[in-house]
């Protein structure tokens, strides 16, 4: 298959190309050896040396995969202290002494500061933990250049450019939540280099560029200036962290006028809010929830990027149980300006999860407490997970609705969304049932009711429902 035939085929597949289709496996065999291999992590949040184990393990994996460089998209030192940044550096040089991997292969550090790195020394929790004197003496934000040189043995620049095997990388250290001062001038200065030969270049910052990956829900997006600047470069591929969004969410990959990738976290994850069992980023508010928050401490994720002449692939991996997180993302290159892998385009073609034949939903009832400790009568809906190995495609989450009949009208009320407990891990860790809990006050009082459960994909596509039996609430109360 020549380059023209490959690009024509990729364009035809368009939004489906990132999924684990049979065509993907076939295409991968045509790519040959990659031109570039890059390990990608973010939000590693290290403190003492005893917290570096997973980071070292991920670096060892990247080394064994012969990575040409490793991206860290910010938040390395959890409390923004120099001694914590030194833990990061010690781990790096343990695996890549003098920035070299196996057989003396050069592996480029492609790191940027995040908000924790430069601001957390001044936060109340840090001062309470280590004391004001230590926080000020150790604060990276008070000595950015010195800390960088001391730890990583290279000059510090607020915006840097490195070239790895002919591919350009730009890193922008954290300045504030809004934007990156000087980026417009930096891009203009290097404009000819970035546009030359049509190859992708890679941009790294901590906050998500506004209105790109993870869409409007992502916490801590910038003000949109970077999105406008990169929008002039269809060959730009941006990496960002900050939101800790798990890589099972296909909205971590966005493509429009350029490409934007969310890099999850190597420390802990925040599955999407507004689910019955997720963390709600409402600060002082108390959203109603009958279920406790998911525990995601074993969710430690990263990626391995391989760059070819006609495609870029991203292996999504978790580093606790060493399993892939679903199928690799596949980006035809160059990107299709007429049919990019936008959320809208991919929603049209993304596979819809369906419960396997014979799947059943059941109900149990009893006394319990909601997330805030209020005791009450609760009804729990139980149903099986929808996985690629039992249904052809894995569900992202599930919609659970209450239905009741009043004369000839069927009413739908109390809609909830819920994640399976281990949705952020590989399929082997997600086997078992999913539950969704309702308080008695959320259910019809004068009618029999039942629950309808639908598996959903990341873009809101919903499969066919399965139903519980009808419940006479007077008998179950």
CATH number of 362-476: 2.60.40.10
**By the 8 A CB rule, do 429 and 321 touch?**
yes
Exposed (0-12), middle (13-18) or buried (19+): which is 400, by Cβ within 10 Å? Answer: buried
Mean pLDDT of 246-265: 95
The region of weakest confidence among 226-240, 284-298, 375-389 is 284-298
The predicted pLDDT at position 98 comes to 98
Instruction: Please count the residues of the chain.
Output: 477
Strands (E), 396-448: 397-406, 409-418, 433-439
Residues 127, 272: Cα–Cα separation, whole Å: 30
Element (H, E) at 144: helix 144-152
Q: Does residue 273 carry a pLDDT above 90?
A: no
Please state whether beta strands 36-41 and 69-72 pair in parallel, antiparallel, or not at all (unpaired): parallel
C-alpha–C-alpha distance, residues 170 and 261, integer Å: 15
What local confidence, expressed as pLDDT, does residue 26 receive? 67
Which residues, at least 6 apart from 66, have a Cβ–Cβ distance to it below 8 Å? 37, 101, 102, 105
**pLDDT top residue among 95 and 285:** 95
Q: How far apart are CA 18 and CA 343, in angstroms?
A: 12
User: CB-based contacts of 264: which residues, under 8 Å, 6+ apart?
Assistant: 42, 43, 241, 244, 245, 246, 247, 252, 301, 302, 303
| 123-142 per-position pLDDT tens digit | 999 999 999 999 999 999 99
Residue 345 has what pLDDT? 92
Q: Per residue in 10-21, pLDDT tens?
A: 333 333 334 445
- For the cut 70, the answer to whether the pLDDT of residue 199 exceeds it is yes
Residue 8 has pLDDT above 70, yes or no: no
* Residues above pLDDT 90, as percent of the chain: 82
Contact 422, 297 (CB under 8 A): no
pTM of the model: 0.92
Which of 439, 449, 452 is closest to 473 using CA atoms? 449
Separation between Cα atoms, residue 187 and residue 432, nearest integer Å: 50
Q: What is the mean pLDDT of the chain?
A: 91
Classified as helix, coil or strand, 346 is helix
Residue with tokens 């900050």: 242
Q: Does residue 85 contact residue 48 with C-beta atoms inside 8 Å?
A: no
pLDDT of residue 221: 87
Instruction: Look at residue 66 and tell me whether its pLDDT is greater than 70.
Output: yes
Average pLDDT over every residue of 63-87: 98
Tokens of 444: 């019809």
d(CA 477, CA 472): 9
Q: State the pLDDT confidence band at 24, using cuts at 50, 70 and 90.
A: low
For the residues 308-325, what does the mean pLDDT come to? Answer: 96
> Is 3-265+300-349 a CATH 3.40.50.1820 domain?
no
Domain boundaries defined on the chain = 3-265+300-349, 362-476
How confident is the model over 83-106, as a mean pLDDT? 97
* Whether pLDDT at 286 is above 80: no
In 10 A of CB 297, how many CB atoms? 10
């Amino acid at each position: 298959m020549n380059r023209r035939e490959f690009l024509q085929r990729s364009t035809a597949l368009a939004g489906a190309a990132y999924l684990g289709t049979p065509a993907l496996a076939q295409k991968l065999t045509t790519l040959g050896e990659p031109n570039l291999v890059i390990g990608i992590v973010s939000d590693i949040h290290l403190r003492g040396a005893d917290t570096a184990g997973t980071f070292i393990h991920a670096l060892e994996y990247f080394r064994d995969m012969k990575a040409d460089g490793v991206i860290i998209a910010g938040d390395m030192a959890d409390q923004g202290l120099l001694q914590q940044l030194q833990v990061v550096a010690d781990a790096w040089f343990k695996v890549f002494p003098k920035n070299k991997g196996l057989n003396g292969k050069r592996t480029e550090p492609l790191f940027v500061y995040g908000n924790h790195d430069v601001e957390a020394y001044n936060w109340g929790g840090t001062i309470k933990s280590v004391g004001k004197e230590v926080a000020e003496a150790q604060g990276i934000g008070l000595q950015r250049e010195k800390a960088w040189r001391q730890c990583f043995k290279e000059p510090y620049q607020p915006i840097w450019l490195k070239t790895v095997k002919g591919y350009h990388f730009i890193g922008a250290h954290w300045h504030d939540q809004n934007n990156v001062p000087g980026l417009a001038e930096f891009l203009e200065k290097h404009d000819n280099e970035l546009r030359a030969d049509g190859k992708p270049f890679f941009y790294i910052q901590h906050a998500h560029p506004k209105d790109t990956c993870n869409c409007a829900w992502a916490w801590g997006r910038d003000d949109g200036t970077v999105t406008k600047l990169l929008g002039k470069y269809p060959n730009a591929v941006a990496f960002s962290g900050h939101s800790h969004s798990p890589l099972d969410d296909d909205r971590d990959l966005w493509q429009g006028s350029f490409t934007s990738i969310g890099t999850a976290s190597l420390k802990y994850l925040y599955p999407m809010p507004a689910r019955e069992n997720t963390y709600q980023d409402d600060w002082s508010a108390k959203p109603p929830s009958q279920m406790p928050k998911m525990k995601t401490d074993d969710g430690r994720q990263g990626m391995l990027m391989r760059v070819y002449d006609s495609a870029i692939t991203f292996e999504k991996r978790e580093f606790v149980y060493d399993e892939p997180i679903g199928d690799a993302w596949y980006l035809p290159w160059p990107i299709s300006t007429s049919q990019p892998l936008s959320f809208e385009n991919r929603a049209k073609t993304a596979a819809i999860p369906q419960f396997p034949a014979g799947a059943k939903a059941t109900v149990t009832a009893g006394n319990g407490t909601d997330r805030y400790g209020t005791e009450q009568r609760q009804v729990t809906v139980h149903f099986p997970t929808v996985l690629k190995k039992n249904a052809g495609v894995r569900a992202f989450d599930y919609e659970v609705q209450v239905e009741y009949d009043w004369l000839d009208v069927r009413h739908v009320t109390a809609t909830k969304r819920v994640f399976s407990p281990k949705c952020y891990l590989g399929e082997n860790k997600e086997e078992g049932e999913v539950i969704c809990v309702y308080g008695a006050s959320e259910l019809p009082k004068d009618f029999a009711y039942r629950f309808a459960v639908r598996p959903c994909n990341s873009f809101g596509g919903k499969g066919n429902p399965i139903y519980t039996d009808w419940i006479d609430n007077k008998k179950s109360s």
